[in-house]
Structure 1
Amino acid sequence: MKAQFEKISAPIHSSFKAFVYEGARFSAPWHFHPEFELAYIEKGEGIRYVANSVQKFNAGDLVLLGSNLPHCWKNSLDVTSGVKSLVFQWDEHVLGENWINKSEFAPIKTLLAQSTRGLKFSDEIGLKYADVLKDIIKKPAFEKLIGFIQLLNKLALIDDCELLSSEHFSSSLNIKANARIDKIYNHIHSNFNKKIMLHEVASLVSMGDEAFCRFFKKTLNKSLFTFINEYRINVATKQLIETNKQVSQIAYECGFESLPYFYKQFQKFMSCSPLQFRKKYLNQISN
């Protein structure tokens, strides 16, 4: 399915859209929409893409996305238990013209300005507000809106969050570019554990190698192979946490042909070695 501009319509008698998504997998392609979005993952795990950010996600993931920021979630291929998320989408005039410029909403204004790069709240924050999010969805229209604005204000006062995409990220937000990126994401998602050649990815979107490299770099502000390595390292961290496999086995299963190269890339993206990462995680859960 081709990625495209998504038209979001709020339900009758409501100023914004709040709903529960539940299914076998996250099926939405890489897409964008002018509405802001707050998404909480109640069930599921895999890789989250926000602009040029590639990160592992799991239950408890809480992310705020700015207007027209490309994004999608992709399940882990070995997860068959289904997914569930709570989603809130609203436009800039949810409380009328210029509401955000009133002094009472100054913290929310700052929060939404930061969301242009995507904001990831800590898992602890996500779990803390999970019940609040569920409760808001169930409320009548007026209470739902008030409850949601109150929640935004609370999130605006939290420092425990990270910006996702790079400061200088820019994307030509058109249907053709998004369709190409979605094909690339799906190919890497399905073949990360194999050798991926530049020409095979370029041919997926009917481009020559040089033109493809320029397109990918311009769109995601990183090279194809940096992106692939980033994806593979995120999969590797999941394996380090959830299995007792040897580091070498994980490296090869994630598509790395050389163990030294795997160590080099892991250090680059995680700022520690694979064994240090595993030890740090085990120490955290034992405390």
Structure 2
Amino acid sequence: MKPRQEVPETPDGTTIKCFIRRQAAFDFSWHFHHEYELTLITNGTGTRYAGTSVQPYQPGDLVLLGPDLPHTFASDPGPDRTAEAVVAQFREDFLGPGFLALPQFRSIAALLASASRGVLFSPAPPRVQDVLVELPTLDSPAAQTIRLLEALHLLSSAGQRQAISGPGYTAAPDTALRSRIDKICGHLRQAHTREIGLTEVAELVHMSPTSFSRFFRRAMGLTLTEYLGQLRVDTACQLLITTELPVTEVSLRSGYANLSNFNRRFRELKGMTPRDYRNAHRAVKG
């Protein structure tokens, strides 16, 4: 499954586009574009796919994605779960050629450089959230540009941030590496709830199992088993929140035939048992 390229339309040829994305649900739509993107989740929960990463998202999460990094947001299933996000897309030269090379913008330039793997702020600093929510309401691209620069300045000094995608991943849109990774990740997203072996995945990209293991670990920063664990635990989280299925059934539907393995992996990734995870979300909703 290759990501499609999007070409954001900016008003009157400007270098920035700000809008509110509001839908009944965000569908899986794997894509990339040449612009940077800031996405602040303001309502709804689901799964964020960015490069090699598969992570849940929630209101208050903010991601900065670099050019050509494939991504999408897919909403959790369920009624009355309107999905909403504030999005700002901007070119690398949105302030003009060479502007960010000035010494006073060194920290912002460093922040944007780190966005090649994606950067997560969870939750985003309150002041940044206020600025981004205001962006689509401003009546001129000039005002939006000034406020966007303020948001980037605040984020450049924010302490709590984390890289999203694996260290070996490249965002260049037409490389053999990206083509292989996209094909693998698309297949795993569809097949992760059933038993799936190394040989099956290796054959997708015409590699031997041994060569594939080295390739996958180098590109993703984790093994195939670890990546499958991320997908399966994320599926389990959705089932725990949105259904009343017993934990044993959640384990099976997530791709774990062995309940002990499921509990161990879930605790490793979430820091709690599946039952505690469900209870924690019930307490928040109740």
Scaled to the shorter chain, the TM-score interval is 0.7 to 0.9
Mean Cα displacement is larger for which, 274-283 or 6-15? 274-283
Q: TM-score, normalised by structure 2?
A: 0.79
CA–CA distance in 2 between the matches of 1:107 and 1:244? 47
Q: Is the 8 A contact 1:198 1:209 kept in 2?
A: no
Provide, for residues 63-121 of structure 1, a one-character-per-residue CA deviation record: whole Å limited to 9, x for no partner: 11123333222333557855333221222211122222334324323322332332211
Structure 1 residues 1-287: aligned runs within 5 Å: 2-8=2-8, 10-23=10-23, 24-29=25-30, 31-76=31-76, 81=81, 83-123=83-123, 125=125, 129-139=128-138, 140-166=140-166, 168-171=167-170, 173-175=172-174, 178=178, 180-201=180-201, 205=204, 207=206, 210=209, 213=213, 215-241=215-241, 245-278=245-278, 285=284
CA–CA distance in 1 between the matches of 2:158 and 2:21? 26
Letter in 1 for 2:95: L
Q: Compared with structure 1, are the counterparts of its residues 174 and 98 closer, same or farther at alpha carbon in structure 2 (3 Å cutoff)?
A: closer
CA–CA distance in 1 between the matches of 2:32 and 2:104? 29
Q: CA deviation at 1:200?
A: 4.8
Note the residue ranges of structure 1 that are not aligned, 5 or more in a row.
Answer: none
Letter in 1 for 2:169: S
Mean Cα displacement is larger for which, 177-186 or 114-123? 177-186
Q: Compared with structure 1, are the counterparts of its residues 2 and 258 closer, same or farther at alpha carbon in structure 2 (3 Å cutoff)?
A: same
Q: Compared with structure 1, are the counterparts of its residues 81 and 270 closer, same or farther at alpha carbon in structure 2 (3 Å cutoff)?
A: closer
Mean Cα displacement is larger for which, 116-125 or 270-279? 270-279
Q: Compared with structure 1, are the counterparts of its residues 172 and 161 closer, same or farther at alpha carbon in structure 2 (3 Å cutoff)?
A: closer
Q: TM-score, normalised by structure 1?
A: 0.79
CA–CA distance in 2 between the matches of 1:79 and 1:106? 45
Letter in 1 for 2:226: T
Q: Compared with structure 1, are the counterparts of its residues 172 and 10 closer, same or farther at alpha carbon in structure 2 (3 Å cutoff)?
A: closer
Q: Compared with structure 1, are the counterparts of its residues 22 and 196 closer, same or farther at alpha carbon in structure 2 (3 Å cutoff)?
A: farther
Q: CA deviation at 1:40?
A: 1.7
Q: Is the 8 A contact 2:117 2:165 kept in 1?
A: yes
Q: Compared with structure 1, are the counterparts of its residues 77 and 185 closer, same or farther at alpha carbon in structure 2 (3 Å cutoff)?
A: farther
Q: Compared with structure 1, are the counterparts of its residues 189 and 82 closer, same or farther at alpha carbon in structure 2 (3 Å cutoff)?
A: farther
CA–CA distance in 2 between the matches of 1:172 and 1:147? 27
Secondary structure in structure 2 of the residue aligned to 1:207:
coil
CA–CA distance in 2 between the matches of 1:73 and 1:242? 18
Mean Cα displacement is larger for which, 147-156 or 82-91? 82-91
Provide, for residues 166-197 of structure 1, a one-character-per-residue CA deviation record: whole Å limited to 9, x for no partner: 4x323373446545544544444344433334
Q: CA deviation at 1:255?
A: 1.5
Letter in 2 for 1:222: L
Note the residue ranges of structure 2 that are not aligned, 5 or more in a row.
Answer: none
Give the number of equivalent residue pairs: 282
Secondary structure in structure 1 of the residue aligned to 2:125:
helix
CA–CA distance in 1 between the matches of 2:35 and 2:206? 32
Q: CA deviation at 1:262?
A: 0.8
RMSD: 3.4
Identity fraction in percent: 28
Letter in 2 for 1:97: P
Q: Compared with structure 1, are the counterparts of its residues 180 and 3 closer, same or farther at alpha carbon in structure 2 (3 Å cutoff)?
A: farther
Q: Compared with structure 1, are the counterparts of its residues 252 and 278 closer, same or farther at alpha carbon in structure 2 (3 Å cutoff)?
A: same
Letter in 1 for 2:29: A
CA–CA distance in 2 between the matches of 1:183 and 1:213? 15
CA–CA distance in 2 between the matches of 1:217 and 1:6? 29
Q: Compared with structure 1, are the counterparts of its residues 187 and 148 closer, same or farther at alpha carbon in structure 2 (3 Å cutoff)?
A: same
